[in-house]
Structure 1
Amino acid sequence: MGSDDRRTPELGAISLLALGVNGMVGVGIFFAPSEIAGQVPGAAGAWVYPLTALLVAPVGACYAVLGARFSRDGGPLVWAEAAFGKLIGFTVGWITYVSALLSTAAVLSGLGEYLALYLGFAASSAGHVAAACVLVLSAIAAVGLRFSAWVWNGLTIAKLVPLVALLGVGLATAWHFTSRAPLVSEADVMGSATASSWFRAVLIAVFALQGFEVLPLVSSSVRNRARSMPFAIGLSLAVVALLYLALHYSAVMAVPQLASAKAPLSAAATALGGPTLHQVVSLGTQISAIGISFGMIATTPRYLAALGGDDSFGTWLGRRSPRNVPLAALGICTVLTLALVLVGELGSLFVLAAMAVLAQFAVSVFALAALAWREEHGLTRRHLGLAVLALVTLVLVGLGSEAKELITLAGCIALGFALRWLHRLLARRAPS
């Protein structure tokens, strides 16, 4: 433990920003435009992304404030434990770990399907392709955090290239665009989209915009946390929201029936730039999925490692290699992810993961409020205003949730408590 405290932090503000952008620009944006267009048609749908970013921004500010004040890895688990004790801290840590694990498996499952088709394999081999990706990406993550940072920096740049290409063609076309497919007027859009449609669209956009919450997971490895954490979280939210706004507008302009498009950005690429741009964007889908998958595989074990205490799953789980990798946690995550991607259909797991993220957000905000009220860890009661604002926005965002999703989430929490109880029971019976 002492050697960990003396090591030099590996991540600067730019690498942290790249991790945030990489975590947010995932496969969601390649499919979210059609779902959002189904709720808010026409050009107004593009404004769902900055609206969602504004609603999520107070939560991001809470994460930046807390992430800058805690040097221990684990993010929400560490904050909840400091504010409410180990039991609540364990609950939050388990929720966030399950959310990250299911999201990782779902994204890799989708990656397997796309790569299988792209490489000419049979659709039935998608699970095996996904499993191969899990093994390769886990092996890279095991090399070390510094090397992982180089990889996700490169993947972030690579996956942004096709999106920027589509954006550039879309803006150039807009400059000369006359009447390929008239846009729905703003008056018609506002008349056809109800308040509930906007709320549902925002909930969909939350999935596309989530990802900044992984940054505090590597707090102990960040140089100058007080500046780097707010910089990376705030700028990643702003950059990604504006990128999504422009991409959605380009898709609306190019594809009249955007709501029914199976692959909206690929369809927009075909309409705006022909087969060449279509191939570029399709390749970008693969790179994006690889990028987000690698970011998840590199950071998800740290959620599990943060649960490595005597009163949770045992200190062995949190031990790190000389290159700052929790190898035991990485191995467990690799095995579980392999099992999940080989099961088959995992599309429904995205909804559960999104709900778990909202639960994680809420408890993190409550932790900020409690610590600010007690004026601990450098917080003051002036931070209570930020916590209240974040809770209000979370209530607005969560209006689209359903009872069955809450029940499933409760089942996952119960499983974590059962495993914790089993570990403690075995620990008491073990000879001293």
Structure 2
Amino acid sequence: MTGRIGVARGTVLYIGAVLGPGVLVLPALAVQAAGPASLLAWALMLAVSVPIAAAFAALGIRYPDSGGVATFTRRAFGPTAATVAGWWFYAAVPIGMVAGAVAGARYAATALGGGHGAAAVIAAGILAAAYALNLVGLHWSSRLHLALTGGLCALLVTVIVVSVPHVEMSRFTPFTPQGLSGVASATAVLFVAICGWEAAAHLAGEFTRPRRQLPIVAGASLGIIAILYAGLAICTVGVLGTSGGSSEVPLLRLLGPQADLAAVVTALCALLLTFGACFTFIAAAARAAAALGRDKAFPDWFAATRAGVPRRSLAVQAGGAAVVAVAVLAAPTVVDVDLLMRAFSVLLAAVTLLGLAAAVRLLSSPLIRGGAAVGAVVVGGVAACSGPLLILPAAVAVAASTWRRHRAVPRDLPAGRPVPKPAGGTRPRRIAEVDVQPRRSYDLVNPAARTAASSRTHRNR
């Protein structure tokens, strides 16, 4: 598909990367945390989307690679940072996919008149189908993704149009029942609503003219997403009030008790949306792990593929999702959708923070670098609002760093000592030189600089 994406198709793909099953429950979770003041959290998240989208679009143009944020951080901060970023993303996906599958399954179960048991069966079916079809490959996923994204946008527009006449200003008071702490809590969970820009950066190499098209695509997708999210957030508060926070299916409630057929259609669209998002995220994580195995940021075992499909990576992902699903079934009052969404949010916030820091260091545009710095400060604040859940990215970072040190420096050789000379007379390399120093920024984007550097190397020898 290289070089075949235009502005229209790219805009739809970017929207699909950011919008996901979280939109089914996030408005209610935000109202539960902050009441009507959740609108402030929405406004902050939509505002910070602007510099984040610009930074990742610029990075995608300059460094197109399936490694995503790990590639950016490797070039900016070295392989250890890349390893940590890759582990964060890979750990986040099983958590987020189970949360999304449960949220979508609840809509379908409600439409069918089923309870939590039916929702559990449907969620398991969504995840099983998403992982199984990833084993087949991605040759058919592009058109499916486009169709699902179009259906999602139509669904959200329908909900907003039906709900607007029922908005009452009295439901916006009291505006801050939980105070500023509630707004901070809502902001932490709403980060899931704007994550996806870093994933969309992987598409840069697929555009026919990325330098010309990507700014248009990023701007158009950002505008559409902002309108949909803002309309949905306002309608949730203005129609449902604080009671919207107690609903597991807020979109169905917005359609009204008389809209039975519309509720069924909404549930089916939510089901398809959930499957599409799970399929796409699982594919991205599996291929990112294969790229990280290639770059020695994951065990080499992950790099193996069969017919282009990273089956080993998919198997590990499926096992992680199964563990999370069992935890949800065993302790539903402790491990609920809210907790899973917040865990998913804090891990993706950590990934985004590293990516924005890489943008500040690598990009040349003062405007984009400044926006990335502002975005990094906001995302760091969002992560800090996660409270005890910060232990998740911290624990994953310690595990990744420990694995990296153990793998990069053999126990019988101190760091910086020459590796024993191999057969054939190849000049020995130092471990510190090979495993710690990031690659130069010109080797993908400036062929002339690469040629000049190669000539200097030969002259020095």
TM superposition score category, shorter chain reference: 0.7 to 0.9
Distance 1:427 1:315, change over 3 A: farther
2:90 corresponds to which residue? 97
Q: Distance in 2 between matches of 1:253 and 1:310?
A: 50
| Pairing 1:165-180 to 2, within 5 Å after superposition | 165-171=158-164, 173=165
1:67 corresponds to which residue? 60
C-alpha distance after superposition, 1:120-147 (max 9, x if no partner) = 7774475554444333223433444341
Distance 1:259 1:198, change over 3 A: same
Q: Quote how far apart the aligned CAs of 1:58 are.
A: 1.4
| Pairing 1:2-401 to 2, within 5 Å after superposition | 8-9=2-3, 11-42=5-36, 45-46=38-39, 48-112=41-105, 115=108, 123-124=116-117, 129-171=122-164, 173=165, 183-184=170-171, 188-189=173-174, 194-256=179-241, 257-271=243-257, 274-309=259-294, 311-315=296-300, 317-318=302-303, 325-345=309-329, 346-347=335-336, 348-372=339-363, 379-380=364-365, 383-401=368-386
What amino acid maps onto 1:415 in structure 2? A
Contact 1:159 1:291 in 2 (8 A): no
Q: Quote how far apart the aligned CAs of 1:118 are.
A: 5.6
TM-score by length of 2: 0.76
Contact 1:71 1:220 in 2 (8 A): yes
Contact 1:217 1:299 in 2 (8 A): no
Distance 1:339 1:34, change over 3 A: closer
Q: Distance in 1 between matches of 2:188 and 2:352?
A: 14
TM-score by length of 1: 0.80
What amino acid maps onto 1:19 in structure 2? L
1:3 corresponds to which residue? none
Secondary structure of the structure 1 residue equivalent to 2:280: helix
Q: Quote how far apart the aligned CAs of 1:20 are.
A: 2.9
Q: Distance in 2 between matches of 1:218 and 1:325?
A: 18
What amino acid maps onto 1:294 in structure 2? F
Q: Distance in 2 between matches of 1:399 and 1:265?
A: 30
Distance 1:79 1:336, change over 3 A: same
Q: Quote how far apart the aligned CAs of 1:418 are.
A: 5.1
C-alpha distance after superposition, 1:202-239 (max 9, x if no partner) = 33322223223211234444443334444444433331
2:440 corresponds to which residue? none
C-alpha distance after superposition, 1:161-188 (max 9, x if no partner) = 33222222223x25xx7xxx55346xx5
Contact 2:135 2:309 in 1 (8 A): yes
Distance 1:32 1:68, change over 3 A: same
Q: Distance in 2 between matches of 1:369 and 1:184?
A: 42
Q: Quote how far apart the aligned CAs of 1:112 are.
A: 4.9
Larger Rg: 2
Contact 1:127 1:342 in 2 (8 A): no
Contact 2:189 2:345 in 1 (8 A): no
Q: Distance in 2 between matches of 1:384 and 1:119?
A: 50
Q: Quote how far apart the aligned CAs of 1:76 are.
A: 0.8
Secondary structure of the structure 2 residue equivalent to 1:306: helix
Contact 1:34 1:258 in 2 (8 A): yes
Structure 1 residues not aligned, in runs of 5+: 1-6, 373-378
Q: Distance in 2 between matches of 1:380 and 1:408?
A: 34
What amino acid maps onto 1:258 in structure 2? G
Q: Distance in 1 between matches of 2:217 and 2:411?
A: 41
What amino acid maps onto 2:131 in structure 1? S
1:4 corresponds to which residue? none
Q: Distance in 2 between matches of 1:193 and 1:123?
A: 30
Q: Distance in 2 between matches of 1:34 and 1:115?
A: 17
Contact 1:96 1:357 in 2 (8 A): yes
Q: Quote how far apart the aligned CAs of 1:380 are.
A: 4.9
Secondary structure of the structure 1 residue equivalent to 2:140: helix
Contact 2:286 2:314 in 1 (8 A): yes
Contact 1:69 1:226 in 2 (8 A): no
Q: Distance in 2 between matches of 1:41 and 1:349?
A: 21
C-alpha distance after superposition, 1:304-325 (max 9, x if no partner) = 1221136333556345666x54
Contact 2:111 2:263 in 1 (8 A): no
Q: Distance in 2 between matches of 1:134 and 1:163?
A: 23
Distance 1:183 1:54, change over 3 A: same
Q: Quote how far apart the aligned CAs of 1:78 are.
A: 0.2
Distance 1:76 1:60, change over 3 A: same
1:409 corresponds to which residue? 393
Distance 1:56 1:259, change over 3 A: same
Q: Distance in 2 between matches of 1:337 and 1:329?
A: 12
Deviates more, 1:331-340 or 1:209-218: 331-340
What amino acid maps onto 1:141 in structure 2? N
Q: Distance in 1 between matches of 2:411 and 2:106?
A: 42
Distance 1:194 1:111, change over 3 A: closer
Structure 2 residues not aligned, in runs of 5+: 330-334, 413-422, 424-461
C-alpha distance after superposition, 1:242-296 (max 9, x if no partner) = 112212333334324333334222112125x532333333333322322221221
Q: Quote how far apart the aligned CAs of 1:240 are.
A: 1.8
Secondary structure of the structure 1 residue equivalent to 2:277: helix
What amino acid maps onto 1:8 in structure 2? T
Contact 2:34 2:183 in 1 (8 A): yes
What is the RMSD of the two structures over their aligned residues, measured on CA atoms? 3.5
Contact 1:101 1:300 in 2 (8 A): no
What amino acid maps onto 1:183 in structure 2? S
Q: Quote how far apart the aligned CAs of 1:86 are.
A: 0.9
Count residues in correspondence: 407
Secondary structure of the structure 2 residue equivalent to 1:145: coil
Q: Quote how far apart the aligned CAs of 1:91 are.
A: 1.1
Q: Quote how far apart the aligned CAs of 1:425 are.
A: 8.7
Paired-residue identity, %: 22
